[in-house]
Chain A
C-alpha cells in the first residue's frame, strides 16, 4: 500500500534545483507550499470582495422596502456573493489552499504528484474569479448561485460569463482532485500506511475524488446552459422540449457532494487542532477516518433532497429522505468523537482551539437543522426560505469558515515563520462568534414564519429581526477586518514561531517554518499514528531537519 522505502534515484530521492528569481519562486512557482499560499491569498481577496457584497445585502435588508440598491442590483449582488463564496473562497481555501500547503508535508512527500498541473490549477483560479466579478460589467447573473433555468436563460449577458467562470474554476478543481488522489495514493513516506495518516490527509483523501468526479457533472450542466443561452440549443427550455428540472438534477448531483467538499477538509483541520491543543490522541481515529469516506460516498446519493418541491415522483423522494437521515450517523460519530477528545485533556485555549470549539458547537447546530430539512413534510414548509439561508450559513460559515480560521491560526506559523497575534485573534473569535450567531439565528424563525430567500424587499413584520441581523453582520465584518489587520501586521511583526510553536506531532511540525523548498532533507520513516502524546515521535530520519546540514540528495536536473 504505502511506499515501502525511498528508492535510490526515485522521486523521493530527488530534488529539483531551487528556482531563482522572483517570478519562478513566487509567481509561477511549482512548489506546493507556495501554490497553497497563493491559493490562500487569492481566496481571501475574493473573500473580502464577496464579504462586501454580503454587507450590501444586509444593508439593503435594513429596511423592508430596501432602498439601498435597486432590486436588479440586489439580485446580482447576492448571486455573485453566493457563487464567489462557494467556488472562489471556501473550496479553494480548503482544497487548493490548506490542502496544498499541508497534506504533502503531512504524508512526508517532497511535492504533489504533478507540480506543473498544480501550478496550472492555481492560475486558472484567479482568472475565473476575475471573470465572475467582471460579469458585473455586463449584467451579473441574478438567479442566485443555483441559476435555475428558465429564469437564468432570461438573465443578462453576465450569466454566460458566470457559466464560463464556474466551468473554469471547476476545471481547476478537477485537476487539483486528480493531483491529490495520486499524491496520497503514491507518494506517502515509507511506513505511512493509511491507518497512520493524519486525519487532515483523510479529509483531503475523501474530498479529492469528489472534486474529480462531481465537478465534472457540474461542468456538463454549465456547458449545456452556456450553449443554450448563446446558441439557442434547447436543453432546459420547456417550450422547446427541454426540461428545467434536469438542470436541478445535474446541478445538485454536483452541489451536494460540493457541500462535503466544503466540510470534509474542515473536519480534517478540526481533527488536527483538537488533539494538539488538548495534548491528547484524537478519540476514535479509525471511526473518524472511515466516517469521512462514508460521508463522501453517501454524498453522491442524496442530491434530490434539494428538489423535494420540484415535482419529483414521491417514490423517488423517499430514499433520498432516508439516506439523508443516514448521513447524520457518521456526522454524529465525528461530533461525539471530537467532544470525547477533550475529555481528560490539558486544553490550551489558543485562538485556533477556540475556533475549533466554536466549529463543533455551530456545525452541530447546522447539522441538526440539516436533518430537519431532510424530513420532506418540514422541507415542504421551509424550502426556499430564510430557514435554508440560516442552515447553509451555519454549515458553511459556522462550519467551513470557522475551520478555515482555525487552520489559519494553526498553520500561519508554518507559512510565514511567525505567529498571528493571539490577543487580536481572540477578539476576532469572540466578535465573529457573536456577530455570526446574531446574524443567522433569527433567520431560522424568519424563514418558518414566511420570509422567502432571495428577496430585495420583505414584509414589514420581519423588520425588527432583519435590522438586528444587519447590525450583527456589521460586527462580523468588523471582526474579519481585525483578522486581516492581524495577518498583515503579523507577517512583518509577529512573534517568531520556531519550527513547532504548538507542540504538534504531525510531520509538518518537525521541519523548519517555513520549510525548505524540498520539504525534507531525508524522507522520514513512519512507525505509528502521530497522536500518541505519551510516546516519542513515531518518525525516524528527522534528526538533521532542524540543523544547517544540506539535504541528503544533491539538487540536479534529471
Chain B
C-alpha cells in the first residue's frame, strides 16, 4: 500500500459495526491499562513500604544508581513517545512514508532504551554485585519494577514491529487503524510509568 491508495480509501470503508466495535475496544483497552497501572502501583507501594521501613536508602553497601546514564536513557524513551505520537498523527493525515519513518524510529528508540537498561543491569550485576535475589530489598524492588517495565517496553517493541508488518500488508486504512491507536496509547502508558519509576528510583 502506498500513500496514494491510502488517501483514496478516505473513510469509505468505515461502517457502523466498525465504529461501535472500535468504541468498545478503546474502552476495554483503557480499562486494561488501568488494571495494569494498578499492578505497577502495587509493586511501587511495596517498594516504598520496604524503603521506608527503617534501613535508610540506598541500603548500606549499595551505591546510588547511575542517575546521568538513566537520565539519558529516559530521554531516549521519552523521545520514542514523541515519535510514536507523530507516527499516529501522520497516519491519520495520510502521510504514509512519514508514518513508517516515525514508527521505525520509535522501534529503534525503544530497542535503544532496552539496550541501555541491559547495560545498566550488566553494570550493576557484574560491576557492583547487585543482584535480584542477593541484594536484599534493593535488588528485589529495583529489578522487579524496572524489569516489569522493561518487559512492557519489550512487548511494546514487538507489537510495534507487528504494526510495521501489518501496515506494509495494508491491514490499516485511513478509517480503520485501531491497532495503531492502541499501540500509541500503550506506548504512552509505558512512558508515564517510566516517569514514575525514574522519579522514585533515581531522583528521591
Contacts and interface: CB of A to CB of B under 8 A. Distances in A.
B28 interface: yes
Interface stretch (B34-42, B72-80, B161-169): B34-42
Contacts of A228: 140
Contacts of B27: 113, 181-182, 185-186
A224 B39 CA distance: 11
A224 B137 contact: no
Interface stretch (A37-45, A199-207, A237-245, A540-548): A237-245
Contacts of A227: 144
- Looking at chain B, what size class is its interface with the partner chain? 35 or more
Nearest to B40: A220
A114 B28 contact: yes
Interface of A: 7-11, 13-14, 113-114, 117, 174, 177-179, 181-182, 185-187, 212-213, 215-217, 219-221, 224, 227-228, 231-235, 240-243, 246, 249-250, 253, 558
B23 A186 contact: yes
B32 interface: yes
Interface string B128-144: 00001100110110011
A123 B11 CA distance: 38
A253 B49 CA distance: 14
Interface stretch (B14-22, B86-94, B173-181): B14-22
B28 A233 contact: no
A217 B38 contact: yes
B17 A558 contact: yes
A35 to B, nearest CB: 17
B192 interface: no
A246 B52 CA distance: 12
B24 interface: yes
A182 B31 contact: yes
Interface in B24-68: 24, 27-28, 31-32, 34-36, 38-39, 41-43, 45-46, 49-50, 53, 55, 59
A134 B133 CA distance: 28
A212 B34 contact: yes
B167 to A, nearest CB: 22
Given A10-B17, A212-B31, A216-B36, A224 B136 contact: no
Given A178-B31, A242-B140, 5 more contacts: A9-B15, A216-B42, A217-B42, A220-B42, A228-B140
Contacts of A235: 46, 50, 137, 140
The interface centre, meaning the residue of A7, A233, A250 with most chain B CB atoms within 10 A of its CB, is A233
B149 to A, nearest CB: 14
B28 to A, nearest CB: 5
A212 B38 CA distance: 9
Nearest to A240: B136
Contacts of B41: 217
A7 B42 contact: no
A249 B38 CA distance: 14
18 contacts: A8-B16, A9-B16, A113-B28, A174-B35, A178-B28, A182-B28, A186-B27, A215-B35, A217-B39, A220-B42, A220-B46, A224-B46, A233-B132, A233-B133, A233-B144, A234-B140, A242-B137, A558-B17
Given A10-B17, A114-B24, A235-B137, A242 B31 contact: no
A224 B144 contact: yes
A243 B54 CA distance: 11
Contact of B35 (A114, A178, A185): A178
Contacts of B21: 11
A233 B38 contact: no
A249 B20 contact: no
A179 B28 contact: yes
Contacts of B133: 231-234
A204 to B, nearest CB: 15
A213 B38 CA distance: 6
Contacts of A13: 16
Contacts of A558: 17
A219 B36 CA distance: 10
A335 B49 CA distance: 39
A182 B24 contact: yes
A338 to B, nearest CB: 31
Nearest to B135: A234
Contacts of A186: 20, 23-24, 27
Nearest to A215: B35
Contacts of B55: 241
A49 to B, nearest CB: 29
B193 to A, nearest CB: 14
A221 B42 contact: yes
| 5 closest cross-chain pairs (CB), A and B | A220-B42, A9-B16, A216-B38, A241-B136, A10-B16
A410 B198 CA distance: 54
A481 to B, nearest CB: 39
Contact of A14 (B17, B32, B139, B143): B17
Contacts of B46: 220, 224, 235, 246, 250
A350 B122 CA distance: 69
A258 to B, nearest CB: 14
Contacts of B137: 234-235, 240-242
B72 to A, nearest CB: 28
A221 B50 CA distance: 14
Contacts of B38: 213, 216-217
Contacts of B31: 177-178, 181-182, 212
A178 to B, nearest CB: 4
A221 B53 CA distance: 18
Interface in B95-145: 132-133, 136-137, 139-140, 143-144
A231 B133 CA distance: 7
A10 B14 CA distance: 11
B20 to A, nearest CB: 5
Contacts of A231: 132-133
Contacts of A224: 43, 46, 144
Contacts of B39: 216-217, 219-220
A253 B39 CA distance: 12
Contact of B17 (A9, A179, A253): A9
Nearest to A181: B31
B113 to A, nearest CB: 23
Nearest to A558: B17
Contacts of A179: 28
The interface centre, meaning the residue of B19, B38, B55, B132 with most chain A CB atoms within 10 A of its CB, is B38
